[in-house]
Structure 1
Amino acid sequence: MLLTSIIIFIIAAAVSVFSAIRLATYADIISNKTKTGGLVVGTVLLAVATSLPELTATISAAVIDNANIAVGNGLGSITFNIFALFLFDLYFRKKRLFLKVSANHFYTGILGLTLCAIIILSLYFNLNQELLRIGLPSFAIAVVYLGGLWLISLKHQQEIDGEETTPHNTGKTDFPVKTAIIRFILFSLIIFVAGSSLSISGDVIAQSSGISASAVGSLLIAASTSLPDAVSVLVALRVANVNLAIGAILGSNIFNVFVIPIADIFYRNGSIWADASNQHISTAAAGFMLTLIVISILKRNNTKNTLTYITPSLIVVGGYLIFSVFYFLG
């Protein structure tokens, strides 16, 4: 049973990665040939599409009554996504891509900080009150998420109205936008299916191996379901579409938090927050700190040398690895 689950887990992860490569490619075409741009396409379109494994994995965990995998997957994906972002920044350090990022990602980052803060406070103070068998923290997260997205889109629309924006081309003149959109939807559906396989096989791995569900959800499943996000970022950075990459990560992170309230609807034992371990506070706190670092680099205009430039990335990559080891052993 354990070996079969591991094989299914690996196959599902591989399918997700392949689909993510195609998604990022088509998202780049859409952002370059329309007026939406990398920021919006990354924050909404690509972020949600590559986060479909988190959605299906989290909902599947809730259906099988595993609150810790559901909450852990959503929160663990935040830390892994930012880890991958800074890891790739180290790889592309000579290009110093992060100095070319739009400051508008600042608002998405602030929204991410707010959502992490709600989770930390809810778990720390045991805010498990329910309404219609759904935890009040879920309602708070949903309201903040949807309201934040509305304000971000409004801000972006004001900037579009204030300046003339024209689509730009990256040489893909022979690839129709309509075809890119159709294929984007197709690979989104493939990723959606793969996510359920990751969650169910991960639950079996947790039960068979003796590893805690919190660790499996926050590290193993979170990393696996976040592979599409990481791959899409790598593809975006390869074509120097840094706004698409940053938007995909920050947009994916806030969506990953939003999927927990969705999973709460499917959780049959009342509020999912009541059964979630306080161990998730450390994951949410790590996500908060990492998002804060992302926001800080958005404000950089220049750096003196390569070492100064890569210092934040070194801190994040090293910190994530240390956090993962202690969390897994704990």
Structure 2
Amino acid sequence: MYRAKPLYVEGMFFPATTLGQSLLGFATCATCVWIAGARLAYLADALADRFKLAKSLVGLLLLSLATSLPEVATTLTAAVQQSRDLVLNNLFGGIALQTAILAMSDFWARGPITNYPRKANHALEATLLVLLLSVALIITSLGETFVVAGVGLGSVAIAVIYGGAIWLLRRYDNSSDWVPVDLPDPDPLAFPAPTGLSKAGNAALIWQAFAACVAILIFGLLLVIFAERIADQSGLGAGFIGVTLLAAATSLPELTTSIAAVRIGAYTMAISNIFGSNLIMLVLVFPADILFRAGPILQDTSRTVSLALGFGLMVTAIYLTGLIVRRKPRVRDLGLDSILVLITFLGSLAAYYFVR
């Protein structure tokens, strides 16, 4: 059996492992990321209640940023290791995956999840996400034509557009110029903290949140190492592993928080969490480009990257349609949009395997 060589990363030593040991290590780290990420999401919500922050802001910025910490850790670590395929396939492949997570949460909703939003915020989030995905797809197709200090103008443009999108979403949050009709019952509860957090002091909550962040960063780094070893040892390649296995593991916090939010009726927070996380996935291209010193990171990308961006556009457009069309076909309690997103995601896995 093939055994990976010992690996040195920034002064840390990682002993050689077989494929079975790499898979076990990956599963262990993924479990730790799941637990720490879910805990951090609860802590972020408790801190938001404590400091009187708006729930819409919590879903779009705080909760999505908290659950995106695995992506931050794995992306920046892979960029430092100069692994272009792992960076881009993890980021762009995670967009379709996280949207499929929202579709899976529809199983716990009382009717199609896209019927619940009462404002156009989520449709605007999806529209801006389509814009950023389109820009990224154009850049990867044309190549970076302007490069400064090894950083491409395309990744800078994505960061600037992201900043404008967040500004627009925050400004639009209090607007009421788009009012849908025939809505389901409102969310019965805000996103709750687990038992015991309501009694903890502010300092305790902050320290627990910091500890969860550290855990996610450490195990996120280990996820990259084990994913690269699995890619080499299995022969599947970094592109396929990054767009499937690694993207799935780093999306575990989004899965736990989205399902929990939907089960208690906090549908709008679940939607904002996923769309906000997907926006963060795109803006991470900019810091990754700074750390990747072999040239612009969006230059000479693989077919898998273009496919991931295309499938990200498809699933986002499907949900954008679902948010606009209030009366849509359903299969039992599942909305047609969620069913189509799941089918598209399964199709993307077949496409990734075909071009690996």
Give the structure-1-normalised TM-score: 0.88
Task: Give the alignment's Cα RMSD to 1 decimal.
Answer: 2.5
Does the 8 A contact of 1:135 with 1:264 survive in 2?
yes
**Pairing partner for 2:171 from 154, 167, 173:** 154
Distance 1:15 1:55, change over 3 A: same
Amino acid at match of 2:31: A
Equivalence for 1:162? none
Provide the residue aligned with 1:115 in structure 2. 132
Contact 1:68–1:213 (8 Å) recurs in 2: yes
Q: CA deviation at 1:272?
A: 1.2
Tell me the residue number matched to 1:92: 108
Alpha-carbon distance between aligned partners in 1 of 2:64 and 2:47, rounded to the nearest angstrom: 14
Q: Secondary structure at the match of 1:273?
A: coil
Q: 1:52 aligns with which of 69, 93, 96?
A: 69
* 294-303 or 139-148, larger mean C-alpha shift: 294-303
Q: Distance in 2 between matches of 1:12 and 1:114?
A: 34
Q: What is the DSSP-based 3-state SS (H/G/I as helix, E as strand, rest coil) of the residue aligned with 2:284? A: helix
Q: Is the 8 A contact 1:43 1:250 kept in 2?
A: yes
Which residue of the other structure, out of 262, 267, 275, is the alignment partner of 1:242?
A: 267
User: In the alignment, which residue of structure 1 is the partner of 2:13?
Assistant: none
**Alignment correspondent of 1:8:** 25
- Quote the offset at 1:52 in angstroms: 1.0
The alpha-carbon deviation at position 297 of structure 1 amounts to 2.0
Q: Which amino acid aligns with 2:43?
A: Y
How big is each residue's C-alpha offset from its partner over 1:273-322, in whole Å with a ceiling of 9 and x where there is no partner? Answer: 22421331111011011111222222244457654852111111122112
Structure 1 position 134, deviation (Å):
0.5
Q: Is the 8 A contact 2:125 2:275 kept in 1?
A: yes
Other-structure match for 2:316:
291
| Structure 1 unmatched runs, 5+ | 160-166
Distance 1:303 1:93, change over 3 A: farther
Change (3 A) 1:41 1:113: same
Letter in 2 for 1:92: W
**Is this contact kept in 2: 1:94–1:306, CA < 8 A?**
no
2:239 aligned with 1:223:
no
**Aligned with 1:268: secondary structure?**
coil
Query: Helix, strand or coil for the counterpart of 1:123?
Result: helix
Q: 2:108–2:259: 8 Å Cα contact kept in structure 1?
A: no
| Structure-2 change in CA distance of 1:283 and 1:14 (3 Å) | same
Aligned residue number for residue 6 of structure 2: none
2:38 to 21, 27, 42: 21
Structure ranking higher in helix proportion: 1
Match of 2:232 in 1: 207
Residue 103 in 1 paired to residue 123 in 2? no
Contact 2:36 2:216 in 1 (8 A): yes
Q: Distance in 1 between matches of 2:290 and 2:228?
A: 19
Kept in 1, the 8 Å contact 2:36–2:213? The answer is yes
Q: Give the superposition deviation at 1:74.
A: 0.6
Which has the larger displacement, 43-52 or 200-209?
200-209
Q: Distance in 2 between matches of 1:170 and 1:10?
A: 28
Shift of 1:265: 0.8
Change (3 A) 1:26 1:238: farther
Does structure 2 conserve the Cα–Cα contact (< 8 Å) formed by 1:57 and 1:200? Answer: no
Aligned partner of 1:130 in structure 2 is 147
Bigger drift between 315-324 and 177-186 goes to: 177-186
Select which of 312, 317, 321 maps to 2:337. 312
- Give identity over the alignment, percent: 27
Q: Could you say which residue in structure 2 is the equivalent of 1:253? A: 278
RCO greater where, 1 or 2, for CA within 8 Å and sep 6 or more? 1
| 3-state SS in 2 of match to 1:211 | coil
Q: How far off its partner does 1:151 sit?
A: 1.9
SS at match of 1:139: helix
Bigger Cα Rg? 2
Q: 1:24 to 1:95 in 2, by over 3 A?
A: farther
Match in the other structure for 1:142 = 159
Cα displacement string for residues 93-135 of structure 1 (whole angstroms, at most 9, x for unaligned residues): 4354432224212222122111110111011112353111101
SS at match of 1:36: coil
Whether the 8 Å CA contact 1:33–1:169 is kept in 2: the answer is: no
Q: Which residue of 1 aligns with 2:11?
A: none
How far 1:3 moved relative to its partner?
2.8
- Matched letter for residue 19 of structure 1: A
CA distance in 2: counterparts of 1:168 and 1:93, whole angstroms? 15
Letter in 2 for 1:82: T
Equivalent residue number for residue 289 of structure 2 = 264
Equivalent residue number for residue 163 of structure 1:
none
